[in-house]
Amino acid sequence: MPNRVAIVGIGQTHHAGHRYDVSFEEMLNEAVRAALKDAQLSIKDICAIITSNMDPFEGRGCSDTIAVAEIGAYLKAGVKPQTGGTSGATIFSVAWTYVASGLFDTVLVVGGEKQEEVGGDSQMAIITAVDELILRPFYTGALGGLAMLASKYIAETGCPEEIAALARVIMAENAVGNPYAHIRRKITIEDVLKSPMLIYPVRLLHMSPQSNGATALVLASEEKAKKITDKPVWIKDVVTVHHSGFIRYLSGLSPDPSSHEVAAKRLFQRNGITKPMEEIDIFEMYDPCIWEQIIWMEDFLLLGRGQAPKLIEKGVTKRDGAFPISPSGGVVSANDIGATGLTRFAEAALQIRKDAGDHQVTKEVNLALVSGWGAANWTILGLLSKSIT
């Protein structure tokens, strides 16, 4: 029986367009202090610190070693995983492993991003993520890949643009209730449909913003968790799957399924889930573009191909719906890359604890699905649970 691990502390900064008032390291420190305060722990109680951001996105290398003092890692163990947009979710998975190993009983995990501070540029950096000989000359960053995926989906299913606009409006309504979200503005379907086209079919309002911010969590072993808090959120399982060729997948040159599909199959099988939409209460999804939220509901095997649009129309994914998706407002409402994946886990845990305030879903949350995404197509899919078993 693997050691059980729980989330016992949650902290995040306000995710904002710019944080001129703090340095990158100070911003991480804000999230660390918030998570420790939530867990009612001091940094002395922490054995190891797992941190990440994206080096070339940010314009700084080895950010773990630079931020040692501010993240509280001085004379402690830790490591820096780095997997592109997935990083925030990867550090969560790595920290889970640290605690589950039995060698570390209380681990702090913190991710953040502050690109413009020292001249980082995520899209310029992402272009270097693909093969330099063949793909790099015509690659257009994350946006290009996401647009290709959306375009392919429209060709296959005939999904109208109004559905994407409706899904985006739902996210905006959720974000208004989330005091930490970056974009908190009520918008109409009209606004979305009229927003500038970036790359067909992706419009400005479909895309996630570039944000500054940080998120931190404290994870603890079963024994410690029960002492620290009376509302631990248990990590039921986390699956990581990497697909090596996003473009190959998009272009249909690879016969392989997407990493999302493989991850979902593995997670549901391992945890005996046969009807995910009924057994799982909410899904806090890494949805970097609103089209992907629609497509990935199907890729994650929640629905058959082409069925997501109907569900959105019926309001099932709304905060008061039967299967709320990203009640936090999702990645389209805040995207501070090193933190984004981790924020998904933080928000799902807040929902389970009933601590989400104005963006708390109406239904009772016992089991939450959480995803992370990035790089060539790196998927992290996790299950958080209110009960220990």
Cβ pair 28, 112 in contact under 8 A: yes
- Name the residue nearer to other proteins (CB basis): 93 or 212: 93
Residue from 56, 177, 201, 209 in contact with other proteins (CB under 8 A): 56
**Shortest distance (Å) from residue 78 CB to other proteins:** 6
Site string for other proteins, 370-389 (x = CB under 8 A): ----xxx-------------
Q: Does 363 bind other proteins (CB under 8 A)?
A: no
CA distance 164 to 70: 40
Q: Residue 209: enclosing H or E segment and its boundaries?
A: none
How many Cβ atoms sit within 10 Å of the Cβ of residue 367?
19
**Residues 9, 11, 81, 338: which binds other proteins (CB under 8 A)?**
81
Judged by CB under 8 A, the residue of 79, 135, 189, 322 near other proteins is 79
The DSSP line for 109-174 is EEEEE-GGGGT--HHHHHHTTS-TTTTGGG--HHHHHHHHHHHHHHHHH---HHHHHHHHHHHHHH
Does position 270 interact with other proteins (CB under 8 A)? The reply is no
Q: What is the CB-side half-sphere exposure of residue 69 using CA atoms within 13 A? A: 4
Total binding residues toward other proteins, as defined by CB under 8 A: 61
Q: With contacts defined by CB under 8 A, name the span among 234-242, 291-299, 301-309, 329-337 that binds other proteins.
A: 234-242
Instruction: Return the structure tokens found at 193.
Output: 């449909």
| 110: nearest Cα among 68, 161, 150, 151 | 68
Is the Cβ–Cβ distance between 352 and 327 less than 8 Å?
no
Contacting other proteins (CB under 8 A), which of 166, 241, 295, 356?
241
Binds other proteins (CB under 8 A): choice among 93, 174, 178, 343 = 93
Binding to other proteins in span 160-219, by CB under 8 A: none
Rank residues 134 and 197 by Cβ distance to other proteins and give the closer one.
134
Please list every residue from 115 through 134 that binds other proteins, using CB under 8 A: 117-118, 125-126, 128-129, 132
Give, for 187, the enclosing helix (H) or strand (E). none
> Left (φ > 0), alpha (ψ -120 to 50) or beta: where does 75 sit?
left
Nearer to other proteins, 228 or 267 (CB): 267
Interface residues with other proteins (CB under 8 A) are: 2-3, 23, 49, 54-57, 59-62, 64-69, 73-84, 90, 93-94, 96-98, 100-103, 117-118, 125-126, 128-129, 132, 239-245, 256-257, 259, 262, 374-376
